[in-house]
Amino acid sequence: MGIQERKEREKERRRHQIMVAAKRVFSGKGFNKTTIEDIAREAELSPGTLYLYFKNKDDLYASLSLSILQYLLIRLEHIKSEKKLNPEQKLQALKEAMYGVYEFDPLILINMFHLQSSETLKNLSPQLLSEIKNLSQKCLEGIANIFEYGIKHKAFINKNSLALANIIWALFSGIVLWIESKRIIHNENNDLKQALETAFEIFFKGIQK
Amino acid sequence: MGIQERKEREKERRRHQIMVAAKRVFSGKGFNKTTIEDIAREAELSPGTLYLYFKNKDDLYASLSLSILQYLLIRLEHIKSEKKLNPEQKLQALKEAMYGVYEFDPLILINMFHLQSSETLKNLSPQLLSEIKNLSQKCLEGIANIFEYGIKHKAFINKNSLALANIIWALFSGIVLWIESKRIIHNENNDLKQALETAFEIFFKGIQK
Amino acid sequence: MGIQERKEREKERRRHQIMVAAKRVFSGKGFNKTTIEDIAREAELSPGTLYLYFKNKDDLYASLSLSILQYLLIRLEHIKSEKKLNPEQKLQALKEAMYGVYEFDPLILINMFHLQSSETLKNLSPQLLSEIKNLSQKCLEGIANIFEYGIKHKAFINKNSLALANIIWALFSGIVLWIESKRIIHNENNDLKQALETAFEIFFKGIQK
Amino acid sequence: MGIQERKEREKERRRHQIMVAAKRVFSGKGFNKTTIEDIAREAELSPGTLYLYFKNKDDLYASLSLSILQYLLIRLEHIKSEKKLNPEQKLQALKEAMYGVYEFDPLILINMFHLQSSETLKNLSPQLLSEIKNLSQKCLEGIANIFEYGIKHKAFINKNSLALANIIWALFSGIVLWIESKRIIHNENNDLKQALETAFEIFFKGIQK
DNA sequence: TATGAATGAGAGTTCATTCAT
DNA sequence: AATGAATGAACTCTCATTCAT
């Protein structure tokens, strides 16, 4: 049992090591220009080994997203459980959670949004796809829950809370991708934090009663 | 003279024919899964012919974006020249222009946002890249101009107009991509128009004085 | 009749114009890197037109050699008809003829030696190949004739004259190609004339009785 | 340790196996008509495998030349170290070395001279090109050394020894290519050995004091 | 479990040649 | 006679994946 456990842990650690390497390479070169060998080299493993831990390249890519969604979900559940916060404070907490997700690992986040908006989605294994769907669904519900709370307390305008969640999520991803894109196209080093701050400020003002 | 003209027109038509085919295939399979032969088959031409009209696959892909940006720019200039509109009406016009862009050709728009947020950008010919930069720059300025107008008229809160333009652009792209992504992941057929409508409503409310 | 003749002459001129262009391009880029379009552009004609004058690319390439062989043949026949020269003087004349051939058009000459030593030979039309064979045969005989003359006059050692002709021809081509190759590899600007001079001097000394 | 060594050896063997196959195919069809797939098939490997051992087609082609130059260099160094030979005997040894090089592998030798006199040179990797330059430079110096020796001993006429080396090298390559070419054009099966013999005889006579 | 050599399908692209005008 | 747009076969090279060790 102890041995089994240790093996389990070691396996998990190996998986993690690969994901860290993958994240770095994907972020630097993008999905298509990244080769399995690049990742293997970065992880100091052989290409074949990667296939012991991930079904294929797509799966490895998508697995990165799972970790960040899990992190976000924890933050959201934490917000939900904070009974003392008023609606506005919850919104502030959401903003911080989102920025926290970005700071937690910008590269992974960008990866995830790329994944979200890309053809890769179509090639995932059904199982992984369903895990992602499941998690992102839960996250959306977590966000919606915050709006629900504000609406119930007559602090926010009466809109469908899930619709609001989708919009704020789209806003978040749009900003992250657009800022990143400007960095590539224009070599501008725009300040994401500032942009997010402003966007949320406007959004919050926009939904207040 | 007449001959020259006719040839010019035919050449343009051929280019168009290829772009239409490309758009369809790219939208269906994504950039990387789309092969030149796919497009050629769709356009009922031979693969070699495509290279008479486009330097390579990247260029063809990016060319699609140019057309839609041009369309948007025209709409924006039109809004600017409408002297009788008050700030709120201009914002409404912007919303309609954006939705118009989507309706003009949803597939191309999605293509463009994919391009914007992807590695493909890094591989474009400098010339084409600069054309895109140039056009999108002008579009952003066009949007900023609307906010400028509202700020000057004390209708909008006093924020940097270009920052606002970036945010609304990010919001727009985020929504389009996110809705599209939900269509793929969840087979949901979400209503983009409704989402845009709500998002703009909130945003407008958020920047009003 | 006059018309027919003029047409004939114009056709010949066009052929010539193409060959001149081809020579320039082939010399600059080598056979394989040269495209038919390159040549057409240089000749200020369209690709299709070239095929009215030459069966294909190989033929065009080989045709260049014919002209230079013809030139050499004339020089050789001239030497043969010079009854007043002694064997040594004839050898000197041969040397000058060869250098003359080089000067007549170095590019074509190099082209021809490349052709001689290359795979292209295998792809020529039988007709063109036989023309080349025929002409080069005659040239070799012309050279052999000079040696024959020297042997008969007891000025040269008694070797098979055709064998000698082959050797001097190989020496000539070897030097031209080798000097050219050094120019490419080492960026050296070796003096072909000097090398030829020395080589012939040694050779002549080597066959004297 | 033993494992490492064995792997090294096997890798070398694989490389060799590919080179043998390449040589055969190149010789039969020439550089341009030879496809990577041809070579792979001949080597009983897959096309991809070739790229594990050679950077590209050009590199594979050029690598063939390296082996023969190395062989020649060894022979030349051997001649140099033979202190008992007089100048004439050294020349005889050079002749034999050259013929030995031909016999060592006629196909490779012809390949190398083709390479030398062709556009392919322009496309080699700088590294490989410099290896070839280096080796051929050393070979030329080795040959020049023999002439030097003869000149010092007053056996040969006083010419620049490197110039003589270039000439004999050009003569050698010229003969090999010309004989090969006659084999292709005329289906003659000329005797290279005889031609070389005669050529060297004349050359030697030509440089003797 | 880990390796990494080998695979081989498949991609983008080129260009000699054709043929309707 | 001249054009040049269109063809499409053929090329080199890449790389995700497998499997014997």
Query: Going residue by residue through chain B (209 aa), what tens digit of pLDDT does each one get?
Result: 467 778 888 899 999 999 999 999 998 888 888 999 999 999 999 999 999 999 999 899 999 999 899 999 999 999 999 999 999 999 999 999 999 999 988 888 988 888 877 767 766 777 788 888 899 999 999 999 999 999 999 999 999 999 999 999 999 999 999 998 888 777 777 788 999 999 999 999 999 98
A36 and A85: one domain?
A: no
C118 and C68: one domain?
A: yes
CA distance A162 to B194: 13
Greatest extent of chain B over all pairs of C-alpha atoms, in Å: 59
Cα-based angle C78, C81, C82 (whole degrees, multiple of 5): 90
Number of residues assigned to chain A: 209
DSSP assignment, residue B161? H
Q: For chain B, positions 81-120, list CB contacts with chain A under 8 A.
A: 113-114, 116-119
Candidates B174, B195, B198; nearest CB to A174:
B174
Q: Which residues of B32-54 are buried (b: 16+ CB within 10 A; e: fewer)?
A: bebebebbbebbebeeeebeebb
pLDDT of residue D2: 66
CA distance A193 to B31: 31
Give me the CATH number covering residue B49.
1.10.10.60
Q: Distance of CA C170 to CAs C114, D101, D175, D207, Å?
A: 13, 18, 5, 19
- For residue A175, the distance in angstroms to the closest alpha carbon of chain B comes to 5
CA distance D180 to D196: 13
CA distance B201 to A157: 11
C45 pLDDT above the threshold of 60 = yes
Q: For chain A, positions 155-194, list CB contacts with chain B under 8 A.
A: 159, 163-164, 166-167, 169-175, 177-182, 184-186, 190, 194
pLDDT of residue C21: 96
Contact D47, C134 (CB under 8 A): no
Give a yes or no: residue B58 inside a domain. Answer: no
D23 and D88: one domain?
A: no
Give a yes or no: residue C59 inside a domain. Answer: no
Give a yes or no: residue D151 inside a domain. Answer: yes
Distance, CA of B57 to C1' of F3, in Å: 28
CA distance A45 to A29: 19
Candidates C113, C132, C170; nearest CB to D171:
C170
Contacts of C207 in chain D (CB under 8 A): 202, 205-206
CA distance C96 to A149: 103
C33 and C90: one domain?
A: no
C49 pLDDT above the threshold of 90 = yes
B96 and B69: one domain?
A: yes
**Which token pair is A102?**
């970005």
Give me the CATH number covering residue B106.
1.10.357.10
D148 and D201: one domain?
A: yes
Give a yes or no: residue D127 inside a domain. Answer: yes
Secondary structure, 3-state, D172-208: HHHHHHHHHHHHHHHCCCCCHHHHHHHHHHHHHHHHE
The model's confidence at residue C1, banded by pLDDT at 50, 70 and 90, is low
State whether the beta carbon of B56 lies below 7 angstroms from any atom of strand E.
yes
**For residue range C81-113, what is the model confidence (pLDDT) as tens digits?**
998 999 999 999 999 999 999 998 888 898 888
D110 and D181: one domain?
A: yes
pLDDT of residue A106: 87
Contact D159, C198 (CB under 8 A): yes
Give a yes or no: residue B59 inside a domain. Answer: no
State whether the beta carbon of D191 lies below 7 angstroms from any atom of strand F.
no
* Phi then psi dihedrals of residue A36, to 5 deg: -55, -35
Sign of the dihedral defined by the CA atoms of residues D37, D43, D44, D45, in that order: negative
If residue C185 lies in a helix (H) or strand (E), which one and from where to where? helix C161-186
C86 and C40: one domain?
A: no
Nearest protein residue, CA measured to C1' of F14:
D48
B48 and B77: one domain?
A: no
CA distance A159 to A151: 8
Mean pLDDT of the residues in chain A: 90
C126 Cβ contact list (under 8 Å, min separation 6): none
**Which token pair is B78?**
């039109």
D99 and D197: one domain?
A: yes
pLDDT of residue B41: 96
State mean pLDDT over C117-131.
Answer: 77
Give a yes or no: residue C44 inside a domain. Answer: yes
Chains contacting chain B through 3 or more C-beta pairs under 8 A: A
Instruction: Provide the number of structural domains found in chain A.
Output: 2
In this prediction the pTM is 0.86
CA distance C144 to D150: 32
The SS3 call for residue B68 is helix
**Which token pair is C48?**
């299709």
Chain E bases closer than 7 A to any CB of the protein: 1-20
- For residue C30, the distance in angstroms to the closest alpha carbon of chain D comes to 5
D46 and D70: one domain?
A: no
C37 lies in which domain range?
3-53
Give a yes or no: residue A159 inside a domain. Answer: yes
C174 and C92: one domain?
A: yes
What angle, rounded to 10 degrees, do the helices at B106-116 and B161-186 form?
110
Give a yes or no: residue A84 inside a domain. Answer: yes
Contact C173 D177 (CB under 8 A): yes
